[in-house]
Structure 1
Amino acid sequence: MSSTEDIVFKTKLLQLECHFTWALRKEDTDLTDLLNRLEDQINFDLGKKAGVARTYNSIGFVKYLLGSHDEALSHFQRSVELTKECHGEECDKLLVVPCGNLAWLHYNRKDYEECKSYLDQLKDIKEKYPPDSTSVPYPEVLGEKGWTFLKFSLKYYERSKECFRKALELEPDAGEYNAGYAIALYRTETEHTNPTDSPTIKQLRRAIETNPYDDVLKVLLGLRLAVYKKYDEAESLVEKALENSPEHPHVIRYVGIFFRNHGSVDRAVALLKRALERVPNSSLIHHQLALSYKKKQIDLHRAGSHHSKSAEIQRFRNQCIYHLEKAITLKPSFISAMSELALQYGQNQELSKAEEQFQATFQVATEKKDAYQLLLLYYAEFQEYGMRCESLAIKHYMQCLKMGPDKSEGRRSAGHLKRIAEKRISRNPKDAEAFGILGFIHKEKGEKRYAIECYEKALSYEDNAEYLSNLCDLRLSLQ
């Protein structure tokens, strides 16, 4: 092929809407875990050919990223076959993505005749169904793009939300797009003070209207309503979903989370174990089981008489560690599970093992630029309670708070810092560092006048360049 022909091919390929042009970076996900989840999804959706066809498309792209080009080809072709079986002559717009993937794959394999064949098919589809706009794809393409982003990485959730929003502008009553938009909102929305202000709750209700038999949506609505203390409706939705879909792993997982959060930890454990029987390679379910056993440890501690219950607490900790180790074996870049495992090693007095796990987790979090704030919080707690090193704990609590004072990790770090400072002041009312810590908390939370008072007190007990600099900056900002 001449360079001119190659440029023509590449120009046409880059204009396609498919996985190869959606900027899906393998660095942003754990490909093995993603593959496991997609293969599980095929088993869940066996009765829904349209969903299975879409999943085969994504598996094909993951196989391509893993270097298995022959397997990628067979999965893309299977996607085309299922789409035709499911939709017959009305399938053209749904073939845009798999045909685009096949064109790219054949180009990369230097099979230019096959590549041209798929490019010609896509040209025919475009001529048969002229798009409303050159910049807005068919809703069918936007829908598949939205689901792909939702599955691929949490870094793409915002992009997923935007795809579903645009698809709904074109087809507002489509159940699939309403469901996708609801799930994308659920995963991205921060809490509101009132459920009537929550776009997620409104969209979940709308999605259930258009998908009345989707029990995953009902559980998600129940979980979100519970955040606003709407417990009666939440519990009703969750119980109904479990009754209708008692074997669906996604339903069981979310119901398990609901029961754990609302005091029924044993029921949560039983449900999650049942889900694990269906999908033994689910890192998410292993993680949720670990968190349930952690909750059982905490509940026993709070009940008092720790000495008499130490064997039971240790048994729960062992179970927690076992499921966390399984989770990160299945998904080596599962940062929240890695962080929790390091913390559990610390609580188990395996201090060198904990430090090693924390350092490995810091490396992954730095590479992926993900979950770093949570990791800082856990490492600070490990330094405070495991290593008994208050100075390092303070350092990492401060870093965590600085990363986001309004996030839950930031709020928890502020609470830890305040407790440490107040304890030190109760022992020594002239502890300058303790007042400096309080000043830092107020400064990061935007409470400038309180911060100034604390820094002034700190400076009255000790000359410190950092306190003086912070004090000057705060005074200038109020002028």
Structure 2
Amino acid sequence: MSSTEDISLKTKLLQLECHFTWALRKEDTDPTDLLNRLEEQINYDLGKEGGAAHTYNSLGFVKYLLGSHDEALSNLQRSVELTKEYHGEDCEKLLVVSYGNLAWLHYHMKAYEECESYLNKLKEIKEKHFPDSTFATYPQVLGEKGWIFLKFSRTYYERAKECFRKALEMEPAEGEWNAGYAIALYRTETDLPNLTDSPTVKQLRRAIETNPDNDVLKVLLGLKMAVYKKYDEAEGLVETALKNSPEHPHVMRYVGKFFRHKGSADRAIALLKRALNRVPNSSFIHHQLALSYKTKIVLLRREGSHHSKGAEIQRIRNQLIYHLEMATTLRPSFILAMSELAVQYGQNGDTSKAEKLFQDTFQVAKEKNDACQLVHFCYAEFQMFSMRCEPQAIKHYIEGLKMGPDTAKGRKCAEKLGKIAESRIGKNQQDGEAHGILGFIHKEQGEIQQAIKCYEEALRYEDNEEYLTHLCDLRLSLK
């Protein structure tokens, strides 16, 4: 093929709507973990009707990312077969994404005739079904794009939400788009003060109406209702979902999360172990099991003397660490699990191992621009309680608070800093740094007058240029 022909072919390919043109960057995901999750979805038929066809499409793309072109081709062809099987031969417009993927894959395999063949098929579909519009506005394309964004990475959740929202504008009663939009909202919404303010709760109810047999949606709604202390409805939803789908791995893992939040650690552990037997390569379930063991340790400590329960707590911590190590082995860039594992190494006395893992975690979080606030908070906890280094703890609580005072971890950073400052002032009223810390908390939370008062107090006892700068800026903001 000449360079001119190659440019012409590449130009046509770039105009397609498929995984190859949706800017899905390999560095934004963990391909092996994504592969495990997609295979899990196929093995347990978690989709309905043609949903498996979408999964095979995504599976083919991930196989391509991993360099397995023949397996990628097999999965993409299976996607086409399933679409025809579910919808009959008259399903051309449902094959837009599959044909686009196949055209791209054949191009990369240097099978240019086959590539051109799929481009011609797509041209015919466009002329027949979309003469006055583009593939990009077709709900099926938007929906499939939304699902892979949800699967691929946390950093793509907002894009997933937008895809499902647009698809629903055209097909508001479609169950699949309602479910996808509800899940995208669930994953992106921070907890709001009032139930009535939550778009997620409203959309989950709508999604359940259009997907009455989807027990995963019921558990997600149950988890949200528990946040707003609507425990009766929450438990009803969760128990119904578990009764209807007792062996569904996604239902089990979310129900396990519900019971953990409720403080029923043993019930959560039992459920999650069952789920793990069905999907042993799930990093999510290993992580949830670890968090359940962590809850069990907290509950045991509340019951009585640490010394009398020391051996049992250590046994549970060993289980906790094992499941976190499994989660991070299965998904090496699992920032939440990495951070928690580093904290647990510290609490287990292995501070050098914890320090090394924290530095690796900071690097991953920075590269992915994801969960940086969480890592600062966890590292501050490690410095405070394992290393007994209050200055380093303060430094990282401050870094965490700077990244957003209104998030759950931002509020935690503010709370921890406040306790440190109040404790120090209780011992020494003239501790200028402690007053400065309180000033910083108020400043970040938008409480200007309180911040000014604290910085003025700090400057009475400590000549600090940073406090003076903050004070001047705050006074100017009031003019």
Corresponding residue of 1:327? 327
CA distance in 2 between counterparts of 1:250 and 1:103 reads: 34
Q: Deviations over 1:423-467 (max 9, x none)?
A: 111111111111111111111111111111111111111211111
CA distance in 1 between counterparts of 2:389 and 2:439 reads: 21
Give the partner amino acid of 2:149: F
Corresponding residue of 1:86? 86
CA distance in 2 between counterparts of 1:381 and 1:197 reads: 32
Corresponding residue of 1:55? 55
Give the partner amino acid of 2:264: S
Q: What SS does the corresponding residue of 1:305 show, helix, strand or coil?
A: coil
Relative distance call for 1:48 and 1:408 in structure 2 (3 A) is closer
CA distance in 1 between counterparts of 2:51 and 2:366 reads: 35
CA distance in 1 between counterparts of 2:195 and 2:336 reads: 28
Contact 2:139–2:171 under 8 Å retained in 1: yes
- TM-superposed CA distance for 1:352, in Å, is 1.0
Q: What SS does the corresponding residue of 2:50 show, helix, strand or coil?
A: helix
Stretch of structure 1 that moved more, 38-47 or 420-429: 38-47
Give the partner amino acid of 1:450: Q
Q: Deviations over 1:205-249 (max 9, x none)?
A: 111111111100111111111111111111101000000000000
Contact 1:257–1:288 under 8 Å retained in 2: yes
- TM-superposed CA distance for 1:135, in Å, is 7.3
CA distance in 1 between counterparts of 2:321 and 2:60 reads: 34
Q: What SS does the corresponding residue of 1:141 show, helix, strand or coil?
A: helix
Taking every aligned residue pair, what percent have the same amino acid on both sides?
75
Corresponding residue of 2:300? 300
Paired residues in the alignment total 479
Q: What SS does the corresponding residue of 1:315 show, helix, strand or coil?
A: helix
Relative distance call for 1:332 and 1:131 in structure 2 (3 A) is farther
Corresponding residue of 1:260? 260
Give the partner amino acid of 2:381: E
- TM-superposed CA distance for 1:3, in Å, is 2.7
Q: How does 1:282-431 map to 2 (within 5 A)?
A: 282-431=282-431
Give the partner amino acid of 1:68: S
CA distance in 1 between counterparts of 2:411 and 2:132 reads: 47
CA distance in 1 between counterparts of 2:381 and 2:397 reads: 8
Give the partner amino acid of 2:133: S
Corresponding residue of 2:217? 217
User: 4+ residue runs of structure 1 moved beyond 6 angstroms?
Assistant: none
Is 2:140 aligned against 1:140?
Answer: yes
Q: Deviations over 1:370-417 (max 9, x none)?
A: 111100001001101100111111111111111111111111111111
Q: CA RMSD in A?
A: 1.3
CA distance in 1 between counterparts of 2:392 and 2:267 reads: 39
CA distance in 2 between counterparts of 1:153 and 1:94 reads: 25
Q: Deviations over 1:38-79 (max 9, x none)?
A: 000001217845121111110110111111111111111111
CA distance in 2 between counterparts of 1:71 and 1:354 reads: 39
- TM-superposed CA distance for 1:314, in Å, is 1.1
CA distance in 2 between counterparts of 1:404 and 1:343 reads: 22
Give the partner amino acid of 1:116: E
CA distance in 2 between counterparts of 1:399 and 1:367 reads: 17
Q: How does 1:11-90 map to 2 (within 5 A)?
A: 11-45=11-45, 48-90=48-90
Contact 1:205–1:221 under 8 Å retained in 2: yes
CA distance in 2 between counterparts of 1:469 and 1:135 reads: 55
CA distance in 1 between counterparts of 2:47 and 2:441 reads: 54
Q: What SS does the corresponding residue of 1:90 show, helix, strand or coil?
A: coil
CA distance in 2 between counterparts of 1:284 and 1:350 reads: 25
CA distance in 2 between counterparts of 1:132 and 1:199 reads: 34
Contact 1:365–1:372 under 8 Å retained in 2: yes
CA distance in 2 between counterparts of 1:427 and 1:84 reads: 75
CA distance in 2 between counterparts of 1:251 and 1:183 reads: 14
Corresponding residue of 1:246? 246
Q: Deviations over 1:311-344 (max 9, x none)?
A: 1111111111010000001000001100000000
Contact 1:432–1:458 under 8 Å retained in 2: yes
Contact 1:93–1:138 under 8 Å retained in 2: no
Contact 2:17–2:135 under 8 Å retained in 1: no
- TM-superposed CA distance for 1:476, in Å, is 1.1
Contact 1:192–1:198 under 8 Å retained in 2: yes
Corresponding residue of 1:452? 452
Give the partner amino acid of 1:244: N
Contact 1:63–1:69 under 8 Å retained in 2: yes
CA distance in 2 between counterparts of 1:29 and 1:432 reads: 45
Unaligned runs of 5+ in 2: none
Give the partner amino acid of 2:461: Y
Relative distance call for 1:335 and 1:87 in structure 2 (3 A) is same
Unaligned runs of 5+ in 1: none
Corresponding residue of 2:443? 443
- TM-superposed CA distance for 1:136, in Å, is 4.2
CA distance in 2 between counterparts of 1:437 and 1:184 reads: 37
CA distance in 2 between counterparts of 1:234 and 1:191 reads: 16
Q: Deviations over 1:239-290 (max 9, x none)?
A: 0000000000000000001111112111110000000000000000000000
CA distance in 1 between counterparts of 2:168 and 2:462 reads: 61
Relative distance call for 1:435 and 1:131 in structure 2 (3 A) is farther
Contact 1:93–1:141 under 8 Å retained in 2: no
Corresponding residue of 1:152? 152
CA distance in 1 between counterparts of 2:134 and 2:19 reads: 19
CA distance in 2 between counterparts of 1:179 and 1:19 reads: 21
CA distance in 1 between counterparts of 2:206 and 2:264 reads: 29
CA distance in 2 between counterparts of 1:89 and 1:375 reads: 51
Stretch of structure 1 that moved more, 218-227 or 187-196: 187-196
CA distance in 1 between counterparts of 2:89 and 2:67 reads: 33
Relative distance call for 1:131 and 1:151 in structure 2 (3 A) is farther
- TM-superposed CA distance for 1:130, in Å, is 1.7
Corresponding residue of 1:97? 97
Stretch of structure 1 that moved more, 353-362 or 14-23: 353-362
CA distance in 2 between counterparts of 1:191 and 1:429 reads: 37
Q: What SS does the corresponding residue of 2:137 show, helix, strand or coil?
A: coil
